Amino acid sequence: MRGLSESGVLFETLTAALAQRQPLALATVIATHGSSAADPGAKLLIAADGATLAGWIGGGCAQQEVCQAAREALIDRQCRTLELDLESEVLGAGMPCGGRMQVFIEPLAPPPRLWVVGQGALAGALAQAGRLAGFAPVLIGEGAPVEGALRRREPPAPAEIEPADAAVVATQHRGDHLVLPVLLRSPAGYVGLIASRHRAGLVRHYLAGAELTPAQLARLHAPAGLALGGRTPGEIALSVLSQILALRPNQPAATTDES
């Protein structure tokens, strides 16, 4: 019953943290040799600052090494396996238990959000496409609910937006020039405007006088989307999501087969 209770606490802590969009790392003992403070399957939940939140895999310097590796995993968002030598105080983890322990560390982060400003079929198609691509869609404006998407009336403040988020304005020219300055001042990794080339030019001209820096202005993708020739809401949404995914950091370069 003790293991079940500890697992419940760990799960509740994990669920609450991700609901508040707090990144975490989960460390799991996957193998032991000789004497160790924890058995395979033991887990430890670690915050981004290295603090332990729930679970147990052993104390002392072994835990310190795991927490440090967890912090690094949350920076580069890469899983890693840590080999802990528990036999030597000098060369190992500083706690001579007489064994070794292998720990798998997995970074856990809430999904990036896709902020869609607008209503109607196009905004709904963007939200659905974003959800399929792994985003948490948030629809800004009045309109019918869309499955899997949150709905709110007011645009987010720049501080609410995270670097991994994407923001797309699909208002069909209704106030698009008013909301874009807010989005361009945010750290969003992508800001796009769905509009004709003529409308995009008018909006860019307006934004030039909106006290934005040249770097902020340069972040705007207008018209948004790749030139796939789409015309329907679903096709346009596909072109926009394709551009968002293609421009994400650490994406491999596209290649063509010329053989």
**Same domain (yes/no): 91, 143:** no
CA distances from 122 to 57, 82, 116, 146, 178 (A): 49, 46, 10, 12, 19
Supply the CATH number for residue 167's domain. 3.40.50.720
Lowest mean pLDDT among 58-62, 145-149, 191-195: 58-62
Question: What's the structural domain count of the chain?
Answer: 2
Q: How far apart are CA 24 and CA 253, in angstroms?
A: 29
The domain boundary residue, chosen from 108, 131, 151: 108
The domain boundary residue, chosen from 59, 91, 108: 108
179, exposed or middle or buried, with CB in 10 Å at 0-12, 13-18, 19+? buried
Other beta carbons within 10 Å of 198:
9
**Same domain (yes/no): 80, 133:** no
Q: Would you place residue 246 in the very low, low, confident or very high pLDDT band (cuts 50, 70, 90)?
A: very high
- At 1 the pLDDT is 39
Judge whether 158 lies within some domain: yes
- At 195 the pLDDT is 92
Domain interval for residue 100: 2-108
Residue 99 near residue 36 (C-beta atoms within 8 A): yes
DSSP E strands in the chain: the ranges are 24-34, 43-47, 52-55, 80-85, 99-108, 113-118, 136-140, 150-152, 166-170, 190-193, 220-221
**Same domain (yes/no): 119, 234:** yes
Mode of pairing for the β-strands spanning 80-85 and 136-140: unpaired
Is the pLDDT at 99 greater than 70? The verdict is yes
Q: Would you place residue 135 in the very low, low, confident or very high pLDDT band (cuts 50, 70, 90)?
A: very high
Q: How far apart are CA 102 and CA 73, in angstroms?
A: 16
Mean pLDDT of the chain: 86
Q: Would you place residue 88 in the very low, low, confident or very high pLDDT band (cuts 50, 70, 90)?
A: low
Please tell me whether residue 24 adopts helix, strand or coil conformation.
Answer: strand
| Percent of the chain residues topping a pLDDT of 90 | 54
Q: How far apart are CA 252 and CA 182, in angstroms?
A: 30
- At 199 the pLDDT is 93
Helix (H) or strand (E) holding 72: helix 60-76
**Same domain (yes/no): 58, 119:** no
Is the pLDDT at 77 greater than 80? The verdict is yes
Q: Would you place residue 119 in the very low, low, confident or very high pLDDT band (cuts 50, 70, 90)?
A: confident
**Same domain (yes/no): 124, 99:** no
Residue 141 near residue 171 (C-beta atoms within 8 A): yes
Is the pLDDT at 243 greater than 90? The verdict is yes
pTM of the predicted protein model: 0.75
Q: Would you place residue 64 in the very low, low, confident or very high pLDDT band (cuts 50, 70, 90)?
A: confident
Q: What is the pLDDT of residues 4-31, one digit of tens each?
A: 567 788 889 988 888 888 899 999 999 9
> If you average pLDDT over residues 43-61, what whole number do you get?
87
The domain boundary residue, chosen from 108, 135, 155: 108
- Nearest C-alpha neighbor of 224 from the set 203, 194, 245, 201: 194
